[in-house]
Amino acid sequence: MTESAPLTRRTLVQIGGVSAAGAGVLLLAACTPEGSGASSGDGSGNGGSATVALSSIPVGGAVSAQLGSTPIVVSQPSAGSVVAFSAVCTHQGCTVAPQGKEFDCPCHGSRFDAATGDVINGPASTPLTKLKTAVSGDKVTVTPT
């Protein structure tokens, strides 16, 4: 009988056994903070939509939220202008966190622009995945692209 090693995020990335869309769900299940309260998804884990109160997003800042079971970040670069991105770091799949006008990855130090999702500092070399947003009154709805 052989012993098997635990399945880690790194192993999943290396074997490439998940699709890009499903990777965030599988790779980040253990990294997602519980009870962030910034948004609510449809609970199905299949993407659906998330809602965030516009008033909870600081102008020039961002909040963490969930789109189904996938972590996202929603920012308001200027008053009334809202953008959202997958919070899955494009380097090795860790969850980025809002830090003022940028998103920082705690694993390897990648930094992303909160207004564009572009890489400010590596090792990540590709931007965060942009999501669709719609603002209606104080309600921001985020959906996959």
82-139: per-residue pLDDT in tens? 999 999 989 888 899 999 899 999 888 899 999 999 999 889 899 999 999 999 999 9
CATH of domain 9-143: 2.102.10.10
* pLDDT score for 60: 92
Most distant CA atoms of the chain, gap in Å? 61
What are the structural domain ranges in the chain?
Answer: 9-143
Q: How far is CA 138 from the centre of its chain?
A: 21
pTM over 0.85: no
Q: What is the 3-state secondary structure (H, E, C) of 14-54?
A: HHCCCCHHHHHHHHHCCCCCCCCCCCECCCCCCCCCEEEEH
Do residues 127 and 119 lie in contact, with contact meaning Cβ atoms separated by under 8 Å? Answer: yes
Do residues 47 and 70 lie in contact, with contact meaning Cβ atoms separated by under 8 Å? Answer: yes
